[in-house]
Amino acid sequence: MDRDRLASLAAALGARKGGARQGLLAADESPGTIGKRFEAAGVACTPESRRAYREILLRSEALGAQISGVILHDETIRQTAADGESFVAAIARAGAIPGVKVDRGVTPLPGFPGESATEGLDGLAARLAEYRAMGARFAKWRAVIDVGMGAPSDHCLNANAQALARYAAHCHAADLVPIVEPEVLMDGDHDLAHCYAVSKRTLNRVFAELHEARVFLEGVVLKPNMVVPGLKNPRSAQPEETARATLRLLRTCVPVAVPTIAFLSGGQGEVEASANLDAINRLGPLPWAVTFSFGRALQESAQKTWAGKAENAAQAQRVFAHRARMNALAAAGRWEAAFETRA
Ligand code: 13P
């Protein structure tokens, strides 16, 4: 393990660039998940349509400009652009860092209805070595925390936090930066205070387990949810309210040794996610780089614009680059709603 290299990589994923701050593109949706989004856009989901769509994103001008790193799926890290260049090589050539999702998805926790644990520790060391040899420099593991009647249980939080910590330690042993993602879901009708309370329990468990597993925090990127009300709660929160609660959470739970915090978007709208990220950064200066690692909130409009047609690819690329610019400004607290109309 080269600690200096891990620390500088974890910092580079949230580096300032120009008057903005870089962040990550999460393009690691499983075929099943992206299939649902393609279906909504009327696009058949095949290895080739997934490849063609990912080429639009990975050959965007935003890579290396606003996008510091890309999280790939196992399928994509093995694919190439139409001209034969591997996606890993295309990302690196653009000045961005390739990474890969290494968990194997969630499985229900018996006896705990609605709760799950993320699997994928079996054989992980060998898979990490393979990905590193393929050019990946960081990895991602997502734990899913459901909010419901009696959920999350301590059992669920312990199981997920321990798996995240064991994964993170394996990443460091393989010279990869782990993105540690404990996602408290937005599904449900809970309010903002409830999201805060569950997120606090979650992050406290995660950092306790990282400590127990002797994980080098300077070489970690945390990927948390923002503190927001559930999607079915009748009362939505303004960006300032979300920002204050989220920052209180981070200050309470996240050691300043962690260089970079990169939020998931989790079902927020594209502009909503940018406005919230901006509001958080406007409360700075902050002791961590606070940026984005969005999936849906970076891709939604681009995917709809593409709609499976090659002739829409260039316009989809422009739409994607716009979202990347908006989020890079938000990660520096310099986004304004008026910029949205000047695409
Ligand atoms: P969303 O931003 O769409 O939540 O995706 C981020 C991610 O990587 C989930 O694992």
**Short-list 196, 182, 292, CA closest to 251:** 196
Q: How far apart are CA 156 and CA 115, in angstroms?
A: 7
User: Is there an atom of ligand 1 within 6 Å of 265 CB?
Assistant: yes
CA 227 from chain centre, in angstroms, equals 15
**Short-list 63, 65, 72, CA closest to 16:** 65
Q: Considering the domain boundaries, does residue 271 fall inside one?
A: yes
Count of domains for the chain: 1
Q: What is the pLDDT of residue 40?
A: 86
| Amino acid at the residue 231 | L
Cα dihedral 196, 167, 37, 91 sign:
positive
Average pLDDT over residues 181-198: 98
Q: How far apart are CA 287 and CA 296, in angstroms?
A: 27
Q: What is the pLDDT of residues 226-269, one digit of tens each?
A: 999 999 999 999 999 999 999 999 999 999 999 999 999 999 99
Average pLDDT over residues 204-209: 99
DSSP code for 153: -
Q: Considering the domain boundaries, does residue 236 fall inside one?
A: yes
- Tokens found for residue 195: 């999201």
User: Is there an atom of ligand 1 within 6 Å of 54 CB?
Assistant: no
Give this prediction's pTM: 0.98
Q: What is the pLDDT of residue 343?
A: 52
For atom 4 of ligand 1, which residue has the closest CA?
266
Tokens 């093995």 locate to 78
Q: What is the pLDDT of residue 41?
A: 82
Distance 192 CA to ligand 1 centre (A): 20
Q: Considering the domain boundaries, does residue 174 fall inside one?
A: yes
Does residue 336 have an active-site annotation?
no
User: Is there an atom of ligand 1 within 6 Å of 266 CB?
Assistant: yes
Q: What is the pLDDT of residue 342?
A: 57
User: Is there an atom of ligand 1 within 6 Å of 50 CB?
Assistant: no
Distance 26 CA to ligand 1 centre (A): 6
Could you tell me the CATH number of the domain that includes residue 19? 3.20.20.70
CA 301 from chain centre, in angstroms, equals 18
User: Is there an atom of ligand 1 within 6 Å of 179 CB?
Assistant: no
For atom 8 of ligand 1, which residue has the closest CA?
26
Residue range(s) defining the domain that contains residue 177: 3-335
Percentage with pLDDT > 90 across the chain: 98
Q: Considering the domain boundaries, does residue 246 fall inside one?
A: yes
Does residue 181 have an active-site annotation?
yes
Percentage with pLDDT > 70 across the chain: 99
Determine which one of 181, 183, 270, 272 is catalytic: 181
Q: What is the pLDDT of residue 6?
A: 98
Among 226, 271, 276, 296, name the best residue to mutate to test ligand 1's pocket (greatest count of ligand atoms within 8 A of Cβ): 296
Q: What is the pLDDT of residues 93-151, one digit of tens each?
A: 999 999 999 999 999 999 999 999 999 999 999 999 999 999 999 999 999 999 999 99
Tokens 């926790």 locate to 109
Q: How far apart are CA 209 and CA 99, in angstroms?
A: 23
Among 264, 291, 301, name the best residue to mutate to test ligand 1's pocket (greatest count of ligand atoms within 8 A of Cβ): 264
User: Is there an atom of ligand 1 within 6 Å of 101 CB?
Assistant: no
Count helices and strands in the chain by DSSP H and E runs? 12, 12
Q: What is the pLDDT of residues 60-91, one digit of tens each?
A: 999 999 999 999 999 999 999 999 999 999 99
Q: What is the pLDDT of residue 226?
A: 99
Q: What is the pLDDT of residue 153?
A: 98
For the stretch 39-58, what's the b/e string if a residue is b when 16 or more beta carbons lie within 10 angstroms of its beta carbon? eeeebebeeebbbbbbbbbb
User: Is there an atom of ligand 1 within 6 Å of 34 CB?
Assistant: no
Q: How far apart are CA 246 and CA 199, in angstroms?
A: 9
Q: How far apart are CA 309 and CA 173, in angstroms?
A: 43
Q: Considering the domain boundaries, does residue 340 fall inside one?
A: no
Q: Considering the domain boundaries, does residue 341 fall inside one?
A: no
Q: How far apart are CA 153 and CA 220, in angstroms?
A: 26
Q: Considering the domain boundaries, does residue 342 fall inside one?
A: no
Q: Considering the domain boundaries, does residue 343 fall inside one?
A: no
Cα dihedral 183, 188, 189, 194 sign:
negative
Q: What is the pLDDT of residues 138-189, one digit of tens each?
A: 999 999 999 999 999 999 999 999 999 999 999 999 999 999 999 999 999 9
HSE at residue 66, side-chain half, CA atoms within 13 A, is 24
Q: Is 13 exposed, middle or buried (0-12, 13-18, 19+ CB in 10 A)?
A: buried
